[in-house]
A and B are shown apart, each in its own frame.
Chain A
Amino acid sequence: MRFRKAKEFVIERLIYLSGFMSIVFVVLIFAFLLKEGLSMFWRVPISDFLFARNWYPISDPPQFGILPLILGSIFVTAGAGVISIPIGIGSALFIAEIAPRRTKEVLKAGIELLAAIPSVVIGFIGMVTLVPLIKNLFDLSTGLTALTGSITLAFMAMPTIVSIAEDAITAVPRQYREAAVAMGATKWQTTWRIVAYAARPGMVAAIMLGIGRVIGETMAVMMVTGNAALIPHSMLQPVRTLTATIAAEMGETVQGGEHYAALFAIGIVLFIVTFLINGVADVYLHKTKK
């Protein structure tokens, strides 16, 4: 009896401890990014780091301005958003409201599979199909462009957008639809003006989470955007994103050196941006649940 009590005591402490580990990990991630990256800001003021126009980490003297990288991320993300948001919301409406039950199950499984394809495989497919296509279509010297990255990443954002928006649409109470139909609205009018309207907060959350995934995506974007750390002027130029810079350059840095700290500082920027996006998305998700 006493043994059982002691055992339960230990197990329950373990459960509490594990429960808080998620908080511990988030704090640890931020702490270690700061530990390795903060020294960057003693050397280069934050405003110079964020807004200087040159990223020449290995020239002498090195220049650490991440504006071209930020713009690279923004170009690729904006492009991916323009493509994936309408398509994603459209197919969420189709799956939730229009597709018959069996089709719905199959489509949902298909979208889950799309979400599961590793980003390096998506990048590989983008490289062998999209890159030559874009090169020939626009008659460019290289098909590795911001546009290529946008299209590739749109496919990585869509599963997130579709599945979360679909949940939000399905969660709209039945009575709303019945009331609309009773008033003489067609199925489409009901879907668009009543159901989609009521599901707006969930859709916002879906879009935010999709965008969050695109900003953080690394391998696929590194394989198809050409990785030129220059200020982009059009979607048909090579760009380099924040994530790709870390992945591509960390291998060449000296541990504890300036370049190394600069890459961790980029990590800090990415962490804060995704933290904010996910926080806002969570607020909108809770709005739907009420």
Chain B
Amino acid sequence: MKVQLQQKIAFSVLFFCTLLVVVPVLLILVIISIKGFSAIDLGFLTEMPTSGMTAGGIFPAILGTLYLVFGAILFAVPLGVLSAIYLVEYSKDNVLSRLVRLAIVNLAGVPSVVYGLFGLGIFVLFLGFGASILSGSLTLGIMILPVIITASREALESVPRSFRIVSFSLGASKWQTIRHSVLPHALPGILTGTILGLGRAAGETAPILFTVAAFYLPRLPQSVFDQTMALPYHLYVISTQVPGIPENIRYGTALVLLLLVLLLNLAAIILRYRFRKRKKW
């Protein structure tokens, strides 16, 4: 009887731990939704900020984040997918491939603010791109590379060996096999990784602090060499740097950013779930 009681207590404690992890997620969502919902209307999403950002919309920040995320993906997806193909299809188990794996682990662990320093050093100053969308996108792109490589690698590894063997036995070359028998089946997994990367890039602030983000710009960026405002940095600015911003604008901005990131992640989770279910092999 004593062990039964012990088990009950232990399970309750573990359950409580789980609640402590999950409930705050809901709480964050609820608080931001309730207080931010009233701020959001069409004008908030499509207008420029006015009167020193205490009124008007957040359109330039939204647009800037879309530009940055798009640029990061443009750079990171081709590189990440090719890199995953190397790891799964070409690399042998030797020192070099172990080094590549270790490098990916470390890229994933480098603090985001260090990416910011790196972007400042290499893109803004050394390559002379200045504080610009180009510098910011490249910095974010390198930062999300591990996300995309890891997801693509898992997707490629989940394609059964027999697919490749059959393709080879029909006389296909290595690349033809990868292109026609492996990649199509890995595509949903790669897409999942891409969406996760999108979400990560959209929410990061520290890497864009010194590489692109502008406090306030009266006009929209005209080229990739222009600075831009961005949603996460804008939220930081209006909640800590500028006094007197109305509460609902701050919550509204947080809500837009949160929705953008969470919807992307939810899409990735659903996509992965359906993909795993559908798999017949």
What separation, in Å, do the CA atoms of A192 and B102 have in the docked complex?
32
Chain B residue nearest to A26 (CB atoms) is B103
Binary per-residue interface labels of chain B (111-154) against chain A in the complex, 1 for a CB within 8 Å, 0 otherwise: 11111111011100110000000000000001001100100000
Q: Which of A183-236 contact B (CB under 8 A)?
A: 186-189, 191-192, 209, 212, 215-219, 223
Asked whether A15 lies within 8 Å of B203 as measured between CB atoms, the reply is: no
Cross-chain contact of B105 among A11, A29, A267, A282 (Cβ < 8 A): A282
What separation, in Å, do the CA atoms of A129 and B24 have in the docked complex?
12
Cross-chain contact of B14 among A4, A14, A91, A111 (Cβ < 8 A): A91
* Contact A216:B110 (CB < 8 A) given known A93-B14, A263-B117: yes
* Contact A94:B3 (CB < 8 A) given known A29-B114, A124-B235, A124-B239: no
Q: Which of A51-90 contact B (CB under 8 A)?
A: 86-88, 90
What separation, in Å, do the CA atoms of A90 and B91 have in the docked complex?
38
The reply to whether the CB of A138 lies closer than 8 angstroms to some CB of chain B is no
Q: Which of A160-189 contact B (CB under 8 A)?
A: 162, 186-189
Chain B contributes a number of interface residues (CB within 8 A of A) equal to 90
The reply to whether the CB of A8 lies closer than 8 angstroms to some CB of chain B is yes
Asked whether B209 lies within 8 Å of A209 as measured between CB atoms, the reply is: no
The reply to whether the CB of A109 lies closer than 8 angstroms to some CB of chain B is yes
Binary per-residue interface labels of chain A (1-43) against chain B in the complex, 1 for a CB within 8 Å, 0 otherwise: 0001000100110111111111101101100110110000000
Q: Which of A108-127 contact B (CB under 8 A)?
A: 109-114, 116-125, 127
Q: Give the A-B contact count at a CB cut-off of 8 A.
A: 268
Give the shortest distance, in Å, between A274 (CB) and chain B (any CB). 5
Across the interface, which residues of A come within 8 angstroms of B205, CB to CB? 118-120, 218-219
Asked whether A116 lies within 8 Å of B32 as measured between CB atoms, the reply is: no
Chain B interface, >50% SS class: helix
What separation, in Å, do the CA atoms of A116 and B199 have in the docked complex?
7
The reply to whether the CB of B86 lies closer than 8 angstroms to some CB of chain A is yes
What separation, in Å, do the CA atoms of A12 and B273 have in the docked complex?
32
The reply to whether the CB of A243 lies closer than 8 angstroms to some CB of chain B is yes
What separation, in Å, do the CA atoms of A219 and B21 have in the docked complex?
21
The reply to whether the CB of A239 lies closer than 8 angstroms to some CB of chain B is no
Cross-chain contact of B126 among A32, A120, A122, A188 (Cβ < 8 A): A32
* Contact A19:B262 (CB < 8 A) given known A14-B82, A216-B113: no
Asked whether A90 lies within 8 Å of B14 as measured between CB atoms, the reply is: yes
Binary per-residue interface labels of chain B (192-216) against chain A in the complex, 1 for a CB within 8 Å, 0 otherwise: 0000100110111110011000000
* Contact A275:B109 (CB < 8 A) given known A98-B14, A121-B257, A223-B236: yes
Cross-chain contact of B106 among A21, A26, A111, A123 (Cβ < 8 A): A26
* Contact A117:B117 (CB < 8 A) given known A8-B173, A19-B87: no
Q: Which of B9-24 contact A (CB under 8 A)?
A: 10-11, 13-18, 20-22, 24
Asked whether B4 lies within 8 Å of A112 as measured between CB atoms, the reply is: no
Q: Which of A240-272 contact B (CB under 8 A)?
A: 243, 246-247, 250-251, 255, 263-264, 267, 270-271
Binary per-residue interface labels of chain B (92-115) against chain A in the complex, 1 for a CB within 8 Å, 0 otherwise: 000010011011111111111111
Q: Could you say which interface size class chain A belongs to?
A: 35 or more
Chain B residue nearest to A246 (CB atoms) is B113
Q: Which of A36, A110, A124, A129 has the most CB of B within 10 A?
A: A124
The reply to whether the CB of B28 lies closer than 8 angstroms to some CB of chain A is yes
Give the shortest distance, in Å, between A89 (CB) and chain B (any CB). 8
Across the interface, which residues of A come within 8 angstroms of B264, CB to CB? 116
What separation, in Å, do the CA atoms of A231 and B115 have in the docked complex?
27
The reply to whether the CB of B48 lies closer than 8 angstroms to some CB of chain A is no
Asked whether B113 lies within 8 Å of A247 as measured between CB atoms, the reply is: yes
Give the shortest distance, in Å, between A268 (CB) and chain B (any CB). 9
Across the interface, which residues of A come within 8 angstroms of B18, CB to CB? 90-91, 94-95, 99, 107
Give the shortest distance, in Å, between B83 (CB) and chain A (any CB). 4
Asked whether B257 lies within 8 Å of A112 as measured between CB atoms, the reply is: no
Q: Which of A112, A117, A187 has the most CB of B within 10 A?
A: A117
Across the interface, which residues of A come within 8 angstroms of B203, CB to CB? 116-121
Asked whether A19 lies within 8 Å of B121 as measured between CB atoms, the reply is: no
Give the shortest distance, in Å, between B252 (CB) and chain A (any CB). 12
What separation, in Å, do the CA atoms of A264 and B7 have in the docked complex?
52
Apart from A116-B196, A128-B31, what are 13 other A-B pairs with CB-CB below 8 Å?
Answer: A22-B149, A25-B142, A29-B110, A110-B21, A111-B22, A113-B265, A117-B262, A118-B232, A121-B32, A209-B109, A243-B206, A251-B209, A274-B106
6 contacts between A and B (CB under 8 A): A17-B82, A22-B149, A91-B14, A247-B113, A271-B110, A274-B114
Ranked nearest first, the 3 interchain pairs of A and B with the lowest CB-CB distance are A216-B111, A118-B203, A19-B86
**B interface residues (Cβ-Cβ under 8 A, vs A):** 3-4, 6-7, 10-11, 13-18, 20-22, 24-25, 28, 31-32, 78-79, 82-83, 85-87, 89-91, 96, 99-100, 102-118, 120-122, 125-126, 142, 145-146, 149, 173-176, 196, 199-200, 202-206, 209-210, 232-233, 235-236, 239-240, 250, 254, 257-258, 261-262, 264-266, 269, 273
